[in-house]
Chain A
């Protein structure tokens, strides 16, 4: 069974601090996506990483895909209250029933 494990599950930090959240698997993925979900809304796509070792930046957010394409990280610099939300990673599954696999998410809270 393919699994995407995200850590930590919960993170509460002060505004201005840096943080990293992780998405790990024993399986290889052709691509990984990161989403942010705010309360009462659907997930919103942030980025897709495709190539092993790839780094993508989105303002203060830096996404990295592991060299072996089994893991990914999201680093936020100088976190702001607007970064609060549930961060989900997702990857392509190998079976039709598991077409897209989602991790259970990291719930991030930024204190002003």
Chain B
């Protein structure tokens, strides 16, 4: 089992460009999450999907959109990238929405110039 996979590993964007970060899990988990990690600020929840077909905003959703494509895949889209979105992005999954034991992907390091 690969667990949680993310693509790409690294990305550089210019201000105003758009891109989609991909995430997939093979653990048959129901819930999936997107976080950003900035120095000294820990992990902050952007969006999550409690189950296939549902998505909810987290703590810092502005500037992002998500799609729960199917049970396995949860993508994060930046429609018009800004330098403030420079960060490391992590996707995670849990067995269900009441489990707090998260399994993380390896991350995507995004730089917006």
Q: Are B45 and A100 in contact (CB under 8 A)?
A: yes
CA distance A9 to B4 in the complex (A): 28
Size category, A interface: 20 to 34
Q: When the two chains form the complex, which single residue of B40, B41, B104 contacts A44, counting CB atoms closer than 8 Å?
A: B104
Q: Which residues of A contact B107 (CB under 8 A)?
A: 40-42
Q: A88 at the A/B interface (Cβ < 8 Å)? A: yes
Q: A15 at the A/B interface (Cβ < 8 Å)? A: no
Q: A102 at the A/B interface (Cβ < 8 Å)? A: yes
CA distance A105 to B40 in the complex (A): 8
Q: Which residues of B contact A103 (CB under 8 A)?
A: 42
> Which residues of chain A (81-98) have a CB below 8 Å from chain B?
88, 90-92, 96-98
Interface contact tally, CB-CB below 8 A: 63
The A interface is mostly helix, strand or loop, or mixed, namely loop
Mark the stretch among B55-63, B67-75, B79-87 that contacts chain A. B55-63
Residue count of chain B within 8 Å CB distance of chain A:
24
Q: Are B100 and A102 in contact (CB under 8 A)?
A: no
Q: Which residues of B contact A80 (CB under 8 A)?
A: none
Q: Using a CB–CB distance below 8 Å, which chain B residues touch chain A?
A: 4, 33, 35, 40-45, 48, 56-59, 90, 92, 100-107
Given contacts A98-B45, A100-B100, A102-B35, 20 further A-B pairs with CB under 8 A are A9-B40, A31-B100, A35-B102, A35-B104, A42-B4, A42-B90, A42-B104, A44-B104, A45-B101, A45-B102, A48-B100, A48-B101, A88-B42, A91-B100, A96-B57, A97-B57, A97-B59, A100-B45, A102-B43, A102-B44
